[in-house]
Amino acid sequence: MSIIRHSPPDRPLPNGADIGLPWHLGLPAPLERGFQVYLLGLTRTLIRSSFVIVLILLVSGSMVEVLIDPASAMHSWRARLIAIMASTLTWWLAGQEQTDWIIQPSVCLTALIISITNNYLSITLSHSLSYTYYLFNLLAILLMGTLFRITFRWSLINSALILLLMIFSMLVYSELTPAETLVLFFFVLAGGVLSLYGQYNFEKLQRKHFLAERVLAMHRNELHSANLVLENQATEDPLTGAVNRRGMEERLNRQINLQRQRKTEDGNLYVLLFDIDFFKQYNDSYGHLAGDDCLRTVSTVVQSMIQREADFIARYGGEEFLVALNGIRLNDALVFAERVRDRIEKQGIEHKASRNSNVITISVGVAGWRPEIHHTSELIRMADEALYEAKGLGRNRVVLLDEGGTARPL
């Protein structure tokens, strides 16, 4: 049976009112387990906060007995003590972890003990008001459905058992007249039915609220995933899969701001700016489709070498790429740059139009962040100076622009 109806176009997300439930309130197994956990959290809270009310009712009953008939109070205190002990056990279990499976049976057992002990007192005590002990059966039913809020199914089954025990003791052991038996039983039955009906509707609302939360959470997750996809599409170069120019500026600005807050011993931010040597000649000789394949290969090689989440490769423009390495030492940045240069050369992509090699090579310029740098353009300009120097020295090499502004080949 369908649980959730389709929402009208003007109200796309459910708010609880547009969620339908079967008459028995059952949910598919995974959802039912989730609801049980959800409801038991409420039940635990109610048991811990309402335990005092149960104690007050039981102690008040004993005090009334003392006022009416002290001899009866001496007879009933053991039954009262058993009921108090059962209630105390339920309260203790509600405060323990790993006891979800026993909370509802414990509440039902407490209600049964209250019912049985009061049926017993009604039979064994001889004063004129002994029949009133049967009214505690209604309190036992209210304990489950109104005070401690166990699930409707548990409450319904246990309430039926309480009513059967009550009518059995009244018909077999009690000296009440048939009329008195009928009045008492239907009074308890009416109160129990009203309690169960109210509990049924309350649990129905709880289940709707639970389902609405789950559906809204699902929509939030879907929306979050969609936003991530859109964000990636907005900041990703469609050809190479690297970060595009816009995404590069956003991420690099963020890393520069973080670097200004980071201590020197935590490492520095380094930028590697490289381009493919004689790429125009490669396009002219092999065609633009081959050129696109070459760009994708170069980007993929570098992406496979990036290990940390903060680091990234971006397509700076045309055949130029930028790699940001965050929080590392100078030697590590230079080793990474040399490994990138060597790895791309070893791909062996044929380039007969190149003037310094028969395969695709790259030239790399390296620059590190300095405290006086506030914008990405300043850091990229430094890396571009080092790249220009690498090209001037014959390409297929790494050049560092040091803190003094001197270009140093590797």
| Token pair listed for 245 | 């120019």
In a domain, 17, yes or no: no
How high is the pLDDT of residue 296?
95
Annotated catalytic residue within 319, 320, 385, 389: 319
| Token pair listed for 239 | 């050809």
CATH of the domain at 332: 3.30.70.270
The rounded distance, in Å, linking the Cα atoms of 70 and 16 is: 54
How high is the pLDDT of residue 46?
86
Residue 399 phi/psi, 5-degree rounding, is -130, 135
Per-residue pLDDT of the chain (410 residues), as tens digits, is 444 444 444 445 555 556 677 777 878 888 888 888 888 888 888 888 888 888 888 888 778 878 877 877 788 888 888 988 998 898 898 888 777 889 899 999 999 999 999 999 889 887 777 888 899 999 899 988 888 888 899 999 999 999 999 999 999 988 889 999 999 999 999 999 999 999 999 888 888 888 888 888 877 877 777 776 666 657 888 899 999 998 899 899 989 888 887 654 557 899 999 999 999 999 999 999 999 999 999 999 999 999 888 899 999 989 999 999 998 999 999 999 999 999 999 999 999 999 889 999 999 999 999 888 888 999 999 999 999 999 999 999 999 998 888 888 88
User: In this structure, are 36 and 147 located in the same domain?
Assistant: yes
In a domain, 372, yes or no: yes
How high is the pLDDT of residue 9?
46
How high is the pLDDT of residue 380?
94
Per the listing, tokens 């935590």 go with 266
User: In this structure, are 284 and 329 located in the same domain?
Assistant: yes
For the chain, how many structural domains are there in total?
2
User: In this structure, are 173 and 260 located in the same domain?
Assistant: no
Do β-strands 407-409 and 362-368 pair in parallel, antiparallel, or remain unpaired?
Answer: unpaired
Q: Is residue 319 annotated as a catalytic residue, yes or no?
A: yes
How high is the pLDDT of residue 116?
94
User: In this structure, are 203 and 308 located in the same domain?
Assistant: no
How high is the pLDDT of residue 235?
81
Last residue of a domain, which of 177, 203, 218?
Answer: 218
How high is the pLDDT of residue 232?
60
Q: Cα separations (Å) of 278 from 20, 275, 326, 391, 409?
A: 67, 9, 29, 10, 20
Residue 363 sits in which domain range?
245-409
